Amino acid sequence: MDISLSQKERMLLEDQKSHEQICIDKYTNYANQAGDNQLKQIFNANAQQEREHLNSINQLLSGSLPQSNQQQQQQQQNQGAGQNAGTNTATTGFNTSASSKSDADLCNDMLMTEKYVSGAYDTSIFECRDTRVRDVLNHIQKEEQKHGESIFQYMNSKGMYNVK
Domains, the chain, ranges and CATH? 7-60+91-157 (1.20.1260.10)
161 band by pLDDT with thresholds 50, 70 and 90: confident
Yes or no: say if 54 and 15 are a contact pair by the CB < 8 Å rule: no
Provide the percentage of residues in the chain whose pLDDT is more than 70. Answer: 79
State which H helix or E strand residue 49 sits in: helix 37-61
pTM of the predicted model as reported, rounded to 2 decimal places? 0.80
Which residues share a beta bridge with 64? 2
CB atoms within 10 A of CB 64: 12
Helical segments of 62-102, H only:
69-79, 89-92
pLDDT digits (tens, 9 = 90+) for 55-97: 999 999 999 999 764 444 444 454 444 444 343 333 334 444 4
